[in-house]
């Protein structure tokens, strides 16, 4: 999407440079901005999916700087004010794709740069019209950011327990697995299966079962380290990703979790190997889980 913004702005600048609307239009600046915009669009498209987050932040900041330059070199007040939609588009992009704190920083930087460019321009820019545009960017970006944050939270969270759902857990676990393969640090996984959970629902109802799940996950979360990742994998099955933890360390953590509640559960543990996939390491943990069940070793 950022590549599209770069491409549209770059093409419009090239068109304005090739067919200037006024004799005193800054054709040289427009050519330069057009080439930077189109080259940036191509680079962003080619790097799609591989661009580091800092690179994406830098690209958004650069786009704001280019808009500020265009505002500064505009020869009419109308030309400056007409840049408002571009500023709004950049603000909404930052608000949708970045965390709230980073998005707000981008919007403030964007407002400061473009305002400086607008009031450094030769023509007198109507302050009220420009202020209206800046306030619109800030308000729209804040609303968009809050909505995007709520959507991301809802998409990644199990609604009953408040911990990571299966899709979000697997995505983060994959990143941890890749990091462990690069660094050589130990990484362990555990599958936790509640024993006789169906009896709780059958005897006391689903409300009691739901309350038990919330109590268990709340107690577990309080004992886990900040880097540990707890997720709900199925109805009564949970998964743990334990960075910088070998098998012995994983069992020590599980012992701490068992002390938070007297309801019994069984766990299977596997430590990742250098060539492991997430499916493979979870498969070994699952095999270990059922071995524990057969031998009667439970928490």
User: CB neighbours (10 Å) of residue 169?
Assistant: 22
Total-model pTM: 0.73
3-state secondary structure of 121: coil
pLDDT in tens, the chain (299 residues): 899 999 999 999 999 999 988 888 888 999 999 999 999 999 999 988 788 889 999 999 999 999 999 999 998 888 888 888 899 999 999 999 999 999 999 999 999 999 999 999 888 888 888 889 899 999 999 999 999 999 988 889 999 999 999 999 999 999 999 999 999 999 999 999 999 898 998 888 989 999 999 999 999 999 999 999 999 998 899 999 999 999 999 999 999 999 999 999 999 999 999 889 999 999 999 999 999 888 866 55
* pLDDT score for 176: 95
Q: Where are the domains of the chain?
A: 2-156, 166-295
Q: Torsion-angle region of residue 184: left (phi > 0), alpha (psi -120 to 50) or beta?
A: left
Would you say 166 and 233 are in contact if contact means Cβ atoms under 8 Å apart? Answer: yes
What lies within 8 Å, CB to CB, of 83 at 6+ separation is: 67, 70, 71, 74, 114, 118
Closest CA relative to residue 40, chosen from 7, 89, 83, 67:
7
3-state secondary structure of 245: coil
* Distance in angstroms (rounded) separating the CA atoms of residues 80 and 114: 9
Query: Which run of H or of E encompasses 25?
Result: none
* Distance in angstroms (rounded) separating the CA atoms of residues 206 and 243: 34
Please tell me the total number of residues recorded for the chain in this structure: 299
* Strand partners of residue 232: 238
3-state secondary structure 175-235: HHHHHHHHHCCCEEEEEEEECCHHHHHHHHCHHHHHHHHHHHHHHHHHHCCCCCEEEECCC
Q: What is the DSSP letter of 157?
A: B
For residue 236, indicate whether it is catalytic. yes
* Distance in angstroms (rounded) separating the CA atoms of residues 177 and 123: 57
* Distance in angstroms (rounded) separating the CA atoms of residues 146 and 157: 16
Beta strands in the chain (DSSP E): 187-194, 229-232, 237-243, 265-271
Q: Cα–Cα–Cα angle for 278, 279, 284, nearest 5°?
A: 100
Sheet containing 187-194: which strands, arranged edge to edge? Answer: 229-232, 237-243, 187-194, 265-271
Give the gyration radius of the chain's Cα atoms: 27
Would you say 254 and 170 are in contact if contact means Cβ atoms under 8 Å apart? Answer: no
> Residue 91 has which token pair?
């603000």
CATH superfamily of 166-295: Reverse transcriptase/Diguanylate cyclase domain (3.30.70.270)
Active-site annotation holder among 158, 193, 228, 236: 236
* Distance in angstroms (rounded) separating the CA atoms of residues 38 and 17: 14
């Amino acid at each position: 999407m950022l590549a599209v913004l770069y491409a549209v702005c770059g093409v419009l600048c090239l068109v304005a440079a090739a067919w200037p609307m006024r004799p005193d239009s800054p054709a040289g600046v427009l050519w330069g901005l057009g080439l930077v915009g189109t080259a940036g669009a191509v680079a962003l498209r080619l790097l799609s999916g591989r661009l580091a987050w800092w690179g994406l932040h830098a690209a958004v900041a650069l786009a704001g700087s280019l808009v500020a330059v265009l505002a500064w070199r505009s020869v009419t007040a109308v030309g400056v004010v007409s840049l408002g939609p571009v500023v709004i588009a950049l603000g909404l992009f930052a608000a949708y794709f970045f965390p709230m704190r980073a998005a707000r920083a981008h919007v403030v930087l964007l407002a400061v740069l473009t305002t400086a460019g607008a009031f450094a321009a030769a023509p007198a820019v109507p302050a009220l019209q420009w202020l209206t545009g800046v306030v619109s960017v800030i308000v729209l970006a804040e609303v968009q950011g809050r909505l995007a944050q709520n959507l991301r939270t809802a998409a990644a969270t199990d609604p009953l327990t408040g911990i990571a759902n299966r899709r979000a857990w697997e995505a983060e676990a994959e990143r941890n697995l890749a990091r462990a393969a690069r660094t050589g640090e130990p990484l362990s996984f555990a599958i936790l299966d509640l024993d006789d959970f169906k009896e709780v629902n059958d005897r006391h109802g689903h409300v009691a079962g739901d309350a038990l799940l919330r109590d268990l996950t709340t107690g577990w979360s309080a004992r886990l380290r900040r880097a540990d990742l707890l997720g709900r994998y199925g109805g009564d099955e949970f998964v743990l990703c334990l960075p910088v933890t070998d098998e012995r360390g994983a069992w020590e953590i599980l012992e701490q979790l068992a002390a938070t509640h007297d309801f019994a559960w069984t766990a299977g543990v596997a430590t990742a190997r250098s060539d492991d996939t997430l499916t493979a390491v979870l498969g070994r943990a699952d095999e270990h889980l059922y071995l524990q069940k057969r031998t009667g070793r439970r928490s």
